[in-house]
Amino acid sequence: MNGNKRISKKLGAKLALTLLALAIICITAEAQENTAEYWIDRADEYMNNGSIEGAVSAYDEALKIDPDNTTILIHKALELSVLGRVNESSETYERALSLLDENLLKDPNDAKAWQWKATVLGSMKRQNESLAAYEKTLEAFNRRIETDSKDADAWVGKGNSLMNLGKWEEAQDAYNRAIEIDPQDYHTWGRKAEVIGRIGDLNESVEAYDRTIELIPSGNTQELSGYWMSKAEVLAIRGLSDDGPRTDLLEEALTAINHSLELDPKSSSKWHFKATILSELDRKDEAVEAFDEGLRLNPENADNWLWKANLLVEMKRYNESQEAYDKAIELIAENNSEDLALDWLSKGWALNKTGRTDEAQAAFQKSLEFYETAISGNTGNIRLLQQKGLVLFELGRYDEAIEAYDQVLKNSLSLEFDTTAVSAWIGKGDSLRLQGKNEEALEAYNKAIDLGPHYSNAWHGRGEAQKAMGQVGNAGMSFLVADKLGYEE
């Protein structure tokens, strides 16, 4: 009996300790939930799972605990802009900017605060102010380096500032100094790889990315995935050179993005990037599958729907493209006139391909309305004017199209390098030709060819004008050049 009592007491004591341990765990979990760090981690988890709305909600919880945390505010503002909630994003950025200005009044030498301020201003499209803030950031980091030349973090900050100011070679020098001080810092190797990818030797950039990936701890899957993605991007950019696509580099980019997706298969943006590479490799069916996977993970991404729609048009799957265009249009914020205008224009072109001309004309009319709204808020944007000319042409309003193109040409500042001006001359030529003004059209096409001799549609238009004027031999030569340049109806 006494033995049973002792066992009973031991069991009772053990149960009490177990309950106490559980209580401590519960208290710890509750305490964690009451920290901003906990909710920031939750936001990261939501982002990794493709839930931007979930991430925004988590940032809101973090801000209830730490309402003046500028880092959280900036991340929240960024995600709100991705969701198309432009007004909320702007308000959040303004709040962050106000707090940063308060910090800088207290400490004008706070390099990190200047860096965040520059980032926020850039996100708010206040580019001149952003560049001025990056200059201040650079000055602050230089002061830190003067105080301690072995401050690796200051050298990295200096490199980042120089990168944002477009001083890439100086940025590379700064990153090299940081690596001399701390050769195991993979973040600095990553920045060095990025800057070399922009200005230097591709092989050297790839080697730097490989060194970055080698230094990252194996359990850090998110950063490993991110740097595989960055390596894929630099390979893809070089693979899509002006001299024509480099299949070997695009294949390497595809291998890198596949590594990234093995580590982070729930990233819709990485599936989107894989889809674009597959499309460039002419593996279009696989590209559609990759877009679909990205959209399964994040069906609220308007850009993915638009890219998929445009790819389906390339594949001549015009009817299927309509659903994707409609989904993109549905998701774009109402005040985003420029994107809505372009989507309605693209939708109209696809409808024309199916012979649904009445619906196409209605789409072009919607596009025109949105372009007029966009132009009213940005009167100096010649690219928008050029796009408006395209829509007017599709609506058969040729005189108005010519007027729009003439405005583009009048306002273009550097015709030799301005691709918008080339497109305007081509559009003007098309409008004149369809009015039977072939001599004037030919002059416009010739202007376009002078500025952009590789534009196949300029050569084709020139051939049509020459043919209408009875210049059969000249027309044949123009059509031949157009075909060699890859002209497609």
Q: Which two tokens stand for residue 84?
A: 């198309």
Give the per-residue pLDDT at 310.
92
Give the per-residue pLDDT at 33.
60
Split into its structural domains, the chain has a count of: 2
**Nearest partner of 82 among 308, 345, 307, 268, judged by Cα:** 268
Residues in the chain: 489
Q: What is the spatial distance between Cα 110 and Cα 484, in angstroms, rounded to a whole number? A: 58
Give the per-residue pLDDT at 127.
87
Q: How many CB atoms lie within 10 A of CB 92?
A: 25
Q: Is residue 29 part of a domain?
A: no
pLDDT in tens, 406-434: 988 887 754 444 678 888 899 999 999 99
Which residues partner with 244 through β-bridges? 241
Same domain for 352 and 433? no
CATH code for position 320: 1.25.40
Q: How far is CA 248 from the centre of its chain?
A: 24
Same domain for 408 and 478? yes
Domain that holds residue 439: 380-489
Q: What is the spatial distance between Cα 93 and Cα 89, in angstroms, rounded to a whole number? A: 6
Give the per-residue pLDDT at 333.
81
Q: What is the spatial distance between Cα 91 and Cα 93, in angstroms, rounded to a whole number? A: 5
CATH code for position 422: 1.25.40.10
Give the per-residue pLDDT at 230.
92
Give the per-residue pLDDT at 49.
66
Burial class (CB in 10 A: 0-12, 13-18, 19+), 376: exposed
Q: Which two tokens stand for residue 489?
A: 């109806």
**Nearest partner of 478 among 489, 243, 453, judged by Cα:** 453
Same domain for 363 and 384? no
Same domain for 359 and 455? no
Same domain for 414 and 318? no
Same domain for 355 and 321? yes
Same domain for 361 and 411? no
Q: Is residue 424 part of a domain?
A: yes
Q: Is residue 289 part of a domain?
A: no
- Collect the ranges in the chain with pLDDT lower than 50: 1-31, 414-417
Q: What is the spatial distance between Cα 56 and Cα 314, in angstroms, rounded to a whole number? A: 36
Q: What is the spatial distance between Cα 179 and Cα 215, in angstroms, rounded to a whole number? A: 13
Q: How many CB atoms lie within 10 A of CB 57?
A: 16
pLDDT in tens, 170-197: 999 999 999 999 999 999 999 999 999 8
Q: Which helix (H) or strand (E) holds 456?
A: helix 456-468
Give the per-residue pLDDT at 48.
65
pTM: predicted TM-score of the whole model, two decimal places: 0.72
Q: Is residue 388 part of a domain?
A: yes
Q: Is residue 21 part of a domain?
A: no
**Domain closes at, from 302, 336, 369:** 369
Give the per-residue pLDDT at 242.
57
Same domain for 353 and 399? no
Give the per-residue pLDDT at 8.
44
Same domain for 393 and 442? yes
